[in-house]
Amino acid sequence: MDLPSKHLSKAVEQMGSLPGIGKRTALRLVLHLLTQETGEVEEFAESFKSLIHNTKTCKNCHNISDYEICEICIKPTRDKATICVVQDIRDILAIENTMQYKGLYHVLNGIISPMDGIGPNDINIESLVRRANQPETKEIILALSATMEGDTTNFFIHKKLAHCNVNTSIIARGIGIGNELEYTDEITLGRSILNRSPFESSLKM
């Protein structure tokens, strides 16, 4: 695609590098930005600069936060005895929208996927084990997507927690096999959290 400006070409290239954005969509979005007021476009760009420079990762759960400890971890009304393990922040948002879960979270920032070169050491498993060994922790809920990679990660975590004094449970499989957690409707996801079962029971299926 030959464009009449190197600046336009560069902007389209950057926009097209985003997941799910093809070249035609990238061009349409960039051309739209060109029609906006300069101040609006500068504010748009500034928001991403602020995102990169000012957001932090919660030192407890690895959630995205404006502070060292996220709002969920610091909230006194949350159940500190329960930790729900998720792949990324999108799953936290999905579970929070159900309004059925009141515990804490642990964000792995990925799942084990040998095909993609992602192993256990590439995600936040060791910090989960440290949290599981804390006296206040009583239950670890595995809430990963019902995929081969999700199940592999669930099993690995279960083995890592075998010597910890915690109960390990898994969300109910009202969620279809192969489905990503973030795309599950809120009612199904909420019921899956409430109707969770011991992880060992999933190994007998």
Nearest to 160 by CA among 103, 105, 114, 112: 112
Total number of domains constituting the chain: 2
Same domain, 86 and 139: yes
Same domain, 42 and 95: no
Residue 175 domain flag? yes
Residue 1 domain flag? no
Residue 169 domain flag? yes
Nearest to 88 by CA among 152, 149, 157, 145: 145
Going residue by residue through the chain, which has 205 residues, state the pLDDT in tens, using 9 for 90 and above.
678 899 999 999 999 999 999 999 999 999 999 999 999 999 999 999 999 999 999 999 999 999 999 999 999 999 999 999 999 999 999 999 988 899 999 999 999 999 999 999 999 999 999 999 999 999 999 999 888 899 899 999 999 999 999 999 988 765 554 455 565 656 566 656 766 667 666 555 5
Say what the pLDDT of residue 181 is: 57
Domain boundary among 38, 54, 70: 54
pTM of the model: 0.78
- State both tokens at 78: 């949350």
Quick count: other Cβ atoms within 10 Å of Cβ 156? Answer: 16
Tell me the C-alpha distance between 112 and 108, whole Å: 10
Nearest to 202 by CA among 121, 124, 143: 143
Q: Which domain holds residue 130?
A: 58-202
Same domain, 86 and 103: yes
